[in-house]
Structure 1
Amino acid sequence: MAKPVKKGDITEIEIIDLNFRGQGVGKIDNYVIFVNNTLPGDKLKVKIIKAISKYGIGEVVEYLERSEKFEKPECPYFFDCGGCQIMHMKYNEQLKYKRDILINELNRNNLENIDNVKIKNTIGMENPYRYRNKGAFPLSISNGKLLIGPYEKGSHNIVNIDDCLIQNQWTEDIINILRSFIIKNNISIYNERTHKGSIRHILMRNNQKDEIMLVIISKDNIKSKLNDFVEKITKKITNIKSVFLNINDEKTNRILGNKNILLYGDEYIKDNIFDLKFKVFPHTFFQVNHTQTDKLYSKALEYADIEDTDIVYDLYCGVGTISLLAAQKAKEVHGVEIVNESITSAEENKKENEVENANFHLGSVENVFPKLYKKGIKADIVILDPPRKGCEELVLNTLKEMNPRKIVYVSCNPSTLARDLKILQGYGYNINEVQPVDMFPHTTHVETIVALYKKD
């Protein structure tokens, strides 16, 4: 099909859909054009910035008519920032959109009897702002100016911000104190192209008591240069309980390096999930939304419906959050995780909470899980919480052999979730219920919990 537009053209289109990336979808003679910062129902004048055989990309020149789903974003940086994709959409519409994304993926994979499965409305937040307990911002120099903030949409250019409305309420003070200190003391900023300079990122974490951990990530050991900064910021923000310098001297997009130097306070902050306590270090994986984590885990445990005679596997267990919660009801729990630091934290959390019936195993799930099964450790219930790539084939094959009566699948990617559910249906499992949860308001991400049970 000949392209109806070429790069540089200005044309009018109507947005008819929103894709899984949060881009508006419009068509000219069945030729698809994607446009950021738009919603279904928007009528636009756009400039074509890319046109290939299958699709084009446009940027907004003028909004001719705004969608009924539109809401002016609270954040002044939204239209440039890549952190949030759908803050311009009314929050109730965001929740519907996330459920629709999930349903589309399930339908696309032709899951058995999916029309009769209860797919519940997305569990949202009363206040979908200031919800993140962890945030990391890169730093750079552009035209002699210090920039601190998230990346622009689709680039490594930094949006220079004073505050971020999905981060904790101290973000503005922390960024401004750091900015002033760097400028006053002429601290060098890392250049990812030349691999020169020092400070690369700032990372903030906070617990439910609003105690803060601050981490300065640098290519070099600049400990001696940070004394005044640490003194000033801990006096200004008294709930900062921990300040680290993290050394990352590698040419990598990975934020944290392997070496942490404690500059102030404690080596960790403690956080709670229900009545369990967890130690959170700079490298610790921990759910970033306290409010929604409680809802997510409550639903997962409801679906698991653990009895005191059950043996439970928690695969991809991280720092053992679900494992330790499950251990309060189960006879025995086995958590498997590939990240060494996470297993170390899981063991410490087990000790901290005086849990005796949870066992943690280090290694890849596809390697460890089959070995444990061959040793005779058979589960009644398996909880899956894999990364975005989903479960490996060997993991699913082991589930087929093990034949647990129930599987609870916690997913951060609807596409790989649908793929794996299709396989599990082929292994004799029915999908009982599907529950999407909004862990990341104003973004396109959706977390999903699925209850599966073995067919009679």
Structure 2
Amino acid sequence: MSKQQTPVQKNQTIELSFEDITHDGNGVGKINGYPIFVSNALPGETAKVKVIMVKKNFAVGRRLELITTSPDRVKPPCDVFYKCGGCQLQHMSYQMQLKMKQNQVKNVLAKIAHITDVNVEPTLGMDDPWRYRNKVQIPVGKKDGKLITGFYRPRSHDIIEDMERCIVTSEVNDDLVDLIREVANDLDIPAYNEETHRGVLRHIMVRSGENTGQTMVVIVTRTNKIPKQDEFIERILEKQPNITSIMHNVNPDRTNVILGKKTNCLWGEEYIYDTIGDVKFAISALSFYQINPKQTKVLYDKALEYADLSGGETVIDAYCGIGSISLFLAQKAKKVYGVEIVPQAIQDAKKNAKLNGMDNTEFVVGQAEKVMPAWTADGLKPDVIVVDPPRKGCDEALLHAMVEMNPERIVYVSCNPATLARDLVTLTEGGYKLKKVQPVDMFPQTSHIEVVTVLER
């Protein structure tokens, strides 16, 4: 179909009925089978739409006005939802969000892995899908001579300056960001300017322990020193004496990566602690720790259930991070081996094992796809392998190493259904059968979904 033959033209205004929704929450309407994607539109709705981009196989439109409204449409409780890129689904009822995520997993398994004979369970959601994030990273900018903090508008580095609160992060994190911005303003500490690569204050990061109430503030600057540092710390503690830790991270580079390589403790402890179930974790400024502790417990409980341990098993946790899943498994396994490429994470994993008195764990730095064949050569035979890879999924060599090790079961935890489905193809070709699929809503109000699956030999 050439550009001339598309059923719509750029800048045309049309009436469009929506029949579906994409994995990132855009409404899908069709004209003669040609799809048009529109944000903030729900299935069952009709809207007046302006076409803003036309491609050979699809178009993108902007909603001008709603003609008919879905019963699942709700008023977003956040004042800046339509300006901010952080959440994508606040305009839809929570029940619809859970259903959409279940369907997304079903569709991807059918389309990519051609798996249609396994039941995808209803998504496990939250009783209260707000204020769940235990970590916030907020950029700092300048407007009318004053410091401002807020998330960026979608696909830009423009800070939303009228953003007062973020209703998916914990209130204590919100309060601490406000406090640090105010103190920095009073002391004339300049914001970092991306264009000129001048200024000081780049980001404010706050982490809190959901079950311990401990808090860590991380001040990210371009410079090695914070101007008026002693007074800065003094004023913060004056207003919030219960802070556990104030850290300083230095990021001198022209980059959109938030944290630099150097972190110093300015006040208090280098770690805060939190618990998930009966397991205690030490969390540093740089630790990877799940941002929704309530749902992390749901996710890990499900992974433990699928691992089906009776106490005599040897388990491998590939991509083990700070040992969070490993330690859950160690409660029921004879021995757990964890492997992870990030040395700092392995240090944290060892610290966390010691913290919980779990001496049936062993953690190794390295690439799982290289370490696991070496373990096989040493005669290590796992009964269960658990894998929780990053969004890009498992390395092809790791999938083959898993199949070679021939465990009874493989528990695959995924934050990206598309790469999960791709990897399932290799594992099923290697002699494994997918048995169970459980979506877990770790990130309510956003289009992201976690899935726990189990495959048996």
Normalised to the residue count of structure 2, the TM-score between the two structures is 0.95
1:253 to 256, 263, 282: 256
Tell me which moved more, 27-36 or 307-316.
27-36
Superposed displacement of residue 22, structure 1: 1.3
Which residue identity lines up with residue 135 of structure 2 in the other structure? K
Which residue identity lines up with residue 78 of structure 1 in the other structure? F
Aligned match of 1:47: 50
Give 3-state SS (helix, strand or coil) of 2:233's partner.
helix
For the Cα contact (< 8 Å) 1:13–1:43, is it kept in 2? yes
The 5 Å alignment of 1:97-246 reads 97-112=100-115, 114-115=116-117, 117-141=118-142, 146-160=147-161, 161-207=163-209, 208-246=211-249
2:31 to 6, 28, 31: 28
For the Cα contact (< 8 Å) 2:45–2:66, is it kept in 1? yes
In structure 1, list runs of 5 or more residues that go unmatched.
none
Cα distance, 1:158–1:15 mapped onto 2, change above 3 Å = farther
The whole-number CA distance in structure 2 between the counterparts of 1:437 and 1:429 is 23
For the Cα contact (< 8 Å) 2:135–2:173, is it kept in 1? no
1:402 to 402, 405, 427: 405
The whole-number CA distance in structure 1 between the counterparts of 2:146 and 2:239 is 25
Superposed displacement of residue 130, structure 1: 0.6
For the Cα contact (< 8 Å) 1:210–1:239, is it kept in 2? no
Superposed displacement of residue 14, structure 1: 1.9
Aligned match of 2:93: 90
Cα distance, 1:44–1:239 mapped onto 2, change above 3 Å = farther
Superposed displacement of residue 30, structure 1: 3.0
Aligned match of 2:84: 81
Superposed displacement of residue 44, structure 1: 1.6
What is the count of residue pairs matched by the alignment? Answer: 452
The whole-number CA distance in structure 1 between the counterparts of 2:267 and 2:31 is 59
Superposed displacement of residue 142, structure 1: 5.0
For the Cα contact (< 8 Å) 2:183–2:235, is it kept in 1? no
The whole-number CA distance in structure 1 between the counterparts of 2:218 and 2:80 is 24
1:275 to 270, 273, 278: 278
Cα distance, 1:173–1:188 mapped onto 2, change above 3 Å = same
Which residue identity lines up with residue 323 of structure 1 in the other structure? S
Q: Aligned residues: percent identity?
A: 44
Aligned match of 1:337: 340
Aligned match of 2:307: 304
RMSD across aligned positions (CA): 1.6
Cα distance, 1:315–1:309 mapped onto 2, change above 3 Å = same
Q: Is 1:57 matched up with 2:66? A: no
For the Cα contact (< 8 Å) 1:135–1:204, is it kept in 2? yes
Aligned match of 1:386: 389
For the Cα contact (< 8 Å) 1:164–1:171, is it kept in 2? no
* Deviations 1:296-345 (CA, angstroms, capped at 9, x unpaired): 11110011011322110000000011112212222211100011110010
For the Cα contact (< 8 Å) 1:162–1:175, is it kept in 2? no
Cα distance, 1:363–1:413 mapped onto 2, change above 3 Å = same
Give 3-state SS (helix, strand or coil) of 1:170's partner.
helix
Which residue identity lines up with residue 234 of structure 2 in the other structure? E
Cα distance, 1:333–1:51 mapped onto 2, change above 3 Å = same
Cα distance, 1:186–1:4 mapped onto 2, change above 3 Å = farther
The whole-number CA distance in structure 1 between the counterparts of 2:14 and 2:52 is 12
For the Cα contact (< 8 Å) 1:370–1:395, is it kept in 2? no
For the Cα contact (< 8 Å) 2:434–2:454, is it kept in 1? yes
For the Cα contact (< 8 Å) 1:223–1:263, is it kept in 2? no
Cα distance, 1:48–1:430 mapped onto 2, change above 3 Å = same
In structure 2, list runs of 5 or more residues that go unmatched.
none
Give 3-state SS (helix, strand or coil) of 2:171's partner.
coil
The whole-number CA distance in structure 2 between the counterparts of 1:110 and 1:266 is 47
For the Cα contact (< 8 Å) 1:314–1:335, is it kept in 2? yes
For the Cα contact (< 8 Å) 1:312–1:333, is it kept in 2? yes
The whole-number CA distance in structure 2 between the counterparts of 1:263 and 1:362 is 29
Aligned match of 2:419: 416
The whole-number CA distance in structure 1 between the counterparts of 2:45 and 2:326 is 46
Give 3-state SS (helix, strand or coil) of 1:318's partner.
coil
Which residue identity lines up with residue 138 of structure 1 in the other structure? P
Superposed displacement of residue 368, structure 1: 1.4
Aligned match of 1:71: 74
* Deviations 1:81-108 (CA, angstroms, capped at 9, x unpaired): 1110001110011000000000000000
1:433 to 424, 430, 436: 436
The whole-number CA distance in structure 1 between the counterparts of 2:234 and 2:148 is 23
The whole-number CA distance in structure 1 between the counterparts of 2:387 and 2:85 is 29
Which residue identity lines up with residue 169 of structure 2 in the other structure? Q
Superposed displacement of residue 276, structure 1: 1.8
Tell me which moved more, 303-312 or 218-227.
218-227
For the Cα contact (< 8 Å) 2:13–2:51, is it kept in 1? yes
* Deviations 1:244-271 (CA, angstroms, capped at 9, x unpaired): 1110111222111111121221111011
The whole-number CA distance in structure 2 between the counterparts of 1:328 and 1:402 is 23
For the Cα contact (< 8 Å) 2:146–2:185, is it kept in 1? no
Give 3-state SS (helix, strand or coil) of 1:399's partner.
helix
Give 3-state SS (helix, strand or coil) of 1:291's partner.
helix
The whole-number CA distance in structure 2 between the counterparts of 1:285 and 1:27 is 42
